[in-house]
Structure 1
Amino acid sequence: MAKLVRTDEETMLADSARGFLDENAPVSHLRRMRDAGQIFDRTLWKQMAEMGWTGILVPEECGGSAMGHSAACVLAGEMGRTLVQSPFISTAVIGATVYASVMDTRSRDALAAIASGDMIVALAMDENAKFDPERIDTKAEKVGNGYRISGTKRLVLGGVSADRLMVLAQTENGPTLFEISPDSQGVARDGLQMIDSTDAADIRLDAVEVDGDAVLGALGGAMDVLEPALRAGQAALAAEMTGLAGGAMAMTVAYLKDRKQFGVPIGAFQALQHRAAHLWCECEVTASAVLNAGRLLDEDPDNAQMAVSLAKARATDTAQLAVREGVQMHGGIGMTDAFDMGFFMKRARVAAEWLGDYGYHANIVAQARGF
């Protein structure tokens, strides 16, 4: 059984990441970006690359550190704590895992570009309001030595800034994953105005022509390369949401210590102490679930789905609890845009839906347990 405490190396990585993000990407940075209409800070992304974060899952021969999924979850958790707006999960986790599963010449070049911070990747998969990998209406028709792809992909996170799109389409051989340039003729990106200012777009593909080399993996074998990448992304997203919950809780506890009523801090009121203690317990249990998911992805990835789904379901529930309690215990100020708690609430809502909501992952856990 995996040991559910951080190793010394993971603790050092977390401390280093926290110091960097507190200085360079606090929540106030997100506010400035939102007010300026900015969805992506490329300078910050390059700084992350220089620190080795973008290559956390990239093999060493491609310029990465190959530190593993547990380390990726550590970084994602720290980013969640300050609501960092970046393509870390879509590119450094999902994209890197797909390319590492293929490992041909094109993939090696892509991995090197990810590690250096020169390539941003977005996964264009969903076609309706809910995460459903089995539903693929986008068609890839065989034309000569290539394919003609048509369809619409919804809520593609990172879709506006992406340099490469990984598009899931149905071919005569079955579901197939294609790498497409967003600048290709027939590709249209419709940027979405998200409540949390996340970079997201609907991608329209109108008879986009690609050659046979655009296939990632084997024809009809999309899930062979996608499933490991989705598990990695779900675990990292769970870690980010757990960090988000911790950030919201820290803000709330600080307010309980500072705000006074009847001449004493409101944190002295037993009812609020009980609620804060309950939230702390939920955050700790969820952090253990995330650690377990990261360990299993590193040690036994083929059998990690239940652990990953458990982590994502718990993280979704815990993040929602943290932001609800944060708003309520702050009182009226918690509902105002002038206070940062609203940013945590909005990010928690968007993250809850991406890569499978609570019901999707709870169902996987229930089925695995025989219910």
Structure 2
Amino acid sequence: MNFDFSDDQRMLRDHAQRFLGESTDCHALRGMLDAGREFDDQLWSQIVEQGWLGVAIDEELGGLGLGTLELCVLMEELGRALAPVPFFSTVCLAAELIKHSRSPQGLEHLRGLAAGEFIACAGLMTPDREWNQVNLRVEADRLFGSSTALAYAGQSDFAVLPALERGEPQILLVDLNQAGVRRETLSGIDPLTPHARLQLEGVEVLRLCAGEDAVRTMAQVVNQAAVLNAFEQIGGAARACELARDYALERYTFGRPIGSYQAVKHKLADMAVKIELARSNAYFGAWAMHAGSAAELGLAAASSLLCASDAYQFCAEECLHLHGGIGYTWEADCHFLYNKARLLAVSVGNGAAWVDRLLTDESLNALHS
């Protein structure tokens, strides 16, 4: 079994790294936030032109017809660049929920999504949530209630949401530009990722799937989201490690770079070790997604997410510490990475719930039986 990426996928990674490196940086991020903009619409338009929104959408629906491995490659580079765009919510969540629901009407929305006509958000049933906790109810074919905090809900054209109808799980597509939709802007950990809560009062919906199909679809996409989130975190962790390394080489004290001191060297080595451990687990997750191995995807998703979260938070914290007092200032770049690490660690469910999932996974138990 081969866990590595193909030559074409590595070429895509190199292209994405070059393109994002030329299109955005932390100076641009500060300018965007200072101007009160919620995301980089110019970068988003360029990403649309690159065709990335359709990378995992079939060609007959206007996509590139590639797959989840290419999504992994792109998520790592978007994470490295701290790209302030709704790619994850639109492509990795909403589009995947629509795809896996196999609803003919829902699939038609993928055409517009692949063409960049829509921005979308999605609600997930993460391991720390139960279906009976959902606050959205369908009554007489209308949706009532409130969502959880959703990334880019304030900027989205439609949402894919879990709901209940007479106690039965549903996955619904909701047009957010209709009457009865109210968006409540929320403050969050990461200023680069705007969040909002949706308040819905009798809005029309499109059913994507229901019952056991909804439960299975949601579980599949949550596991995929965990793996893709892990790749985004690995990209960010690598960026934090590189930032710390560069500062250690250029910052002098007592006539020598601080990177020459053993304590600093060891911290940088610890960062590299954690990143490689996270990368190994994420590659396992990418393989499980691509191979369609449902039996192993749960284990792979949990191990990918937990290792990547540990690596990103460690690298972001140590990068900030290594910079000393200047690392806490707005002019330094460290805080962007630190805030992003804190957000991504909980954006697909809290770590404790994923630890429980990991320890109780049947495939893990089978390894020890």
Task: Give the TM interval when normalised to the shorter protein.
Answer: over 0.9
Letter in 2 for 1:276: L
Is the contact between residue 188 and residue 195 of structure 2 (CA under 8 Å) also seen in structure 1? yes
Is the contact between residue 175 and residue 219 of structure 1 (CA under 8 Å) also seen in structure 2? yes
Deviation of the 1:268 alpha carbon: 0.5
Structure 1 residue 176 and structure 2 residue 175: aligned?
Answer: no
- Correspondence for 1:13: 12
- Correspondence for 1:342: 335
Is the contact between residue 171 and residue 209 of structure 2 (CA under 8 Å) also seen in structure 1? yes
Deviation of the 1:139 alpha carbon: 4.3
What is the rounded CA distance, in whole Å, between the counterparts of 2:301 and 2:128 in structure 1?
15
State the TM-score, normalized to the length of structure 1.
0.92
Is the contact between residue 168 and residue 176 of structure 1 (CA under 8 Å) also seen in structure 2? yes
| 3-state SS of paired residue (1:175) | strand
Deviation of the 1:131 alpha carbon: 4.4
What is the rounded CA distance, in whole Å, between the counterparts of 2:42 and 2:130 in structure 1?
33
Residue pairs, 1:83-94, within 5 angstroms: 83-94=82-93
Structure 1 residue 199 and structure 2 residue 191: aligned?
Answer: no
Deviations for 1:223-250, whole angstroms, at most 9, x for unmatched residues?
2322222222221111111111000110
Deviation of the 1:134 alpha carbon: 3.1
Distance 1:17 1:65, change over 3 A: same
Deviation of the 1:137 alpha carbon: 3.5
| 3-state SS of paired residue (1:339) | coil
Distance 1:296 1:125, change over 3 A: closer
Is the contact between residue 252 and residue 330 of structure 1 (CA under 8 Å) also seen in structure 2? yes
Is the contact between residue 255 and residue 330 of structure 1 (CA under 8 Å) also seen in structure 2? yes
What is the rounded CA distance, in whole Å, between the counterparts of 2:109 and 2:329 in structure 1?
43
Is the contact between residue 150 and residue 195 of structure 2 (CA under 8 Å) also seen in structure 1? yes
- Correspondence for 1:310: 303
- Correspondence for 2:314: 321
Is the contact between residue 334 and residue 341 of structure 1 (CA under 8 Å) also seen in structure 2? yes
Identity %: 27
What is the rounded CA distance, in whole Å, between the counterparts of 2:128 and 2:353 in structure 1?
8
Is the contact between residue 230 and residue 304 of structure 2 (CA under 8 Å) also seen in structure 1? yes
| 3-state SS of paired residue (1:5) | coil
Aligned pair count reads 362
- Correspondence for 1:72: 71
- Correspondence for 1:161: 155
Is the contact between residue 152 and residue 205 of structure 1 (CA under 8 Å) also seen in structure 2? yes
Distance 1:285 1:157, change over 3 A: same
Deviation of the 1:220 alpha carbon: 6.0
Deviation of the 1:166 alpha carbon: 1.2
More off after superposition, 62-71 vs 314-323: 62-71
Structure 1 residue 190 and structure 2 residue 178: aligned?
Answer: no
| 3-state SS of paired residue (1:337) | coil
Deviations for 1:269-313, whole angstroms, at most 9, x for unmatched residues?
011111111110110111121121111101024221110111011
Residue pairs, 1:213-224, within 5 angstroms: 214-218=206-210, 221-224=213-216
Residue pairs, 1:93-108, within 5 angstroms: 93-108=92-107
- Correspondence for 1:367: 360
Deviation of the 1:356 alpha carbon: 1.4
Letter in 1 for 2:232: E
- Correspondence for 1:234: 226
Deviation of the 1:126 alpha carbon: 6.6
Residue pairs, 1:284-299, within 5 angstroms: 284-299=276-291
More off after superposition, 27-36 vs 264-273: 27-36
- Correspondence for 2:123: 124
- Correspondence for 1:134: 131
Residue pairs, 1:243-262, within 5 angstroms: 243-262=235-254
State the TM-score, normalized to the length of structure 2.
0.93
Unaligned stretches of 5+ residues in structure 1: none
| 3-state SS of paired residue (2:173) | strand
Distance 1:126 1:27, change over 3 A: farther
- Correspondence for 1:210: 204
